[in-house]
């Protein structure tokens, strides 16, 4: 079997990113941390982007024994020009950074809505824009957008997050259509609730919004629509991201890889 765009000497079923540069946003923790370590384990030089400088330093230390390397890159993604510049020369782009606030629309602060859309939709656009010239020039590239089940379904009290993720789905599909003639794929990974600080921080807000005790939020809100009654581990999401970067996924583009425990099967 001949797999298009496979690295010379690579096995079609294995992820070998030796010689590739990857960029992961929100890299200091949660899904971003897991993705960074997974891509570095595959041999990539990973540009780890986050605001959390100490967290990035710890991440780089954890990656010291891996085949690839981790380069800490402290960046505020609301600086859109800097974000676009950071993506130059990137072979693999993982748009993962996110933030969350749980409030009814009539109480949702407009400035927070603006920030969420900037970080989770406009910054990915600028990062993709910065990465594509290099990807097009070499005839190969992988864009993986960490979306959410909320890119496919809405939940109450999450207007900014849901709007950003729905927009990211459309951006990803457009990038797929434009990138296909250049050997560039673009896909979304859509997990339900992942065991991350982002999820843990919203338990109090969810309890207040739904009028229930915090200890009931996990079972009665977060996992209510999931057939599999557990949180997803960040490493599981990282494996899905890795799959989309591999040669065996060269024909997978413009789609969403759903990891929702059966949520959208209803």
Computed on alpha carbons and rounded to an integer, the radius of gyration of the chain in Å comes to: 18
Distance CA 159, CA 174 (A): 23
pLDDT of residue 221 exceeding 90: no
| 145-166: pLDDT as tens digits | 999 999 999 999 999 999 999 9
CA angle (7, 249, 70) in 5-degree steps: 60
From the number of C-beta atoms within 10 Å of its C-beta (0-12, 13-18, 19+), residue 105 rates as exposed
| 162-198: pLDDT as tens digits | 999 999 999 999 999 999 999 999 999 999 989 887 7
Given pLDDT bands bounded at 50, 70 and 90, which one contains residue 6? very low
Q: Does 136 participate in catalysis according to the annotation?
A: no
From the number of C-beta atoms within 10 Å of its C-beta (0-12, 13-18, 19+), residue 37 rates as buried
Class of domain 21-195+233-261: alpha beta
The total of other beta-carbon atoms located within 10 Å of residue 9's CB is: 7
The active-site residue out of 73, 136, 161, 193 is 161
Given pLDDT bands bounded at 50, 70 and 90, which one contains residue 13? low
Distance CA 136, CA 62 (A): 32
Domain boundaries, the chain: 21-195+233-261
- The answer to whether 247 touches 7, Cβ cutoff 8 Å, is yes
pLDDT of residue 126 exceeding 80: yes
Global pTM? 0.90
Distance CA 93, CA 229 (A): 31
- pLDDT score of 5: 47
Q: CA dihedral in degrees (175, 176, 180, 181; nearest 10)?
A: -30
Residue count of the chain, please give it.
Answer: 266
């Amino acid at each position: 079997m001949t797999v298009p765009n496979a690295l010379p000497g690579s096995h079609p079923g294995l992820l070998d990113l030796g010689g590739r540069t990857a960029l992961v946003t929100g890299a200091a923790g949660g899904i971003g941390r897991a993705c960074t370590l997974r891509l570095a384990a595959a041999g990539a030089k990973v540009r780890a982007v986050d605001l959390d400088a100490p967290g990035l330093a710890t991440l780089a230390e954890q990656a010291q024994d891996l085949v690839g390397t981790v380069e800490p890159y402290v960046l505020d993604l609301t600086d859109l020009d800097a974000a676009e510049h950071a993506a130059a020369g990137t072979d693999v782009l993982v748009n993962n950074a996110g933030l969350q606030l749980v409030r009814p629309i009539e109480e949702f602060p407009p400035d927070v809505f603006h920030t969420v859309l900037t970080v989770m939709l406009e910054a990915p656009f600028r990062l993709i824009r910065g990465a594509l010239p290099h990807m097009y020039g070499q005839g190969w590239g992988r864009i993986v957008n960490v979306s959410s089940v909320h890119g496919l379904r809405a939940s109450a009290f999450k207007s900014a997050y849901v709007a950003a993720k729905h927009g990211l789905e459309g951006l990803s599909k457009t990038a797929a259509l434009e990138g296909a003639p250049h050997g560039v794929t673009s896909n979304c990974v859509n997990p339900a609730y992942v065991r991350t600080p982002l999820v843990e921080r919203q338990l109090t807000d969810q309890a207040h919004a739904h009028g229930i005790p915090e200890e009931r939020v996990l079972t009665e809100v977060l996992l209510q629509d999931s057939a599999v009654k557990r949180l997803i581990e960040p490493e599981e999401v990282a494996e899905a991201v890795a799959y989309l970067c591999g040669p065996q996924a060269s024909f997978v583009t413009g789609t969403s890889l759903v990891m929702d425990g059966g949520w959208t099967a209803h």
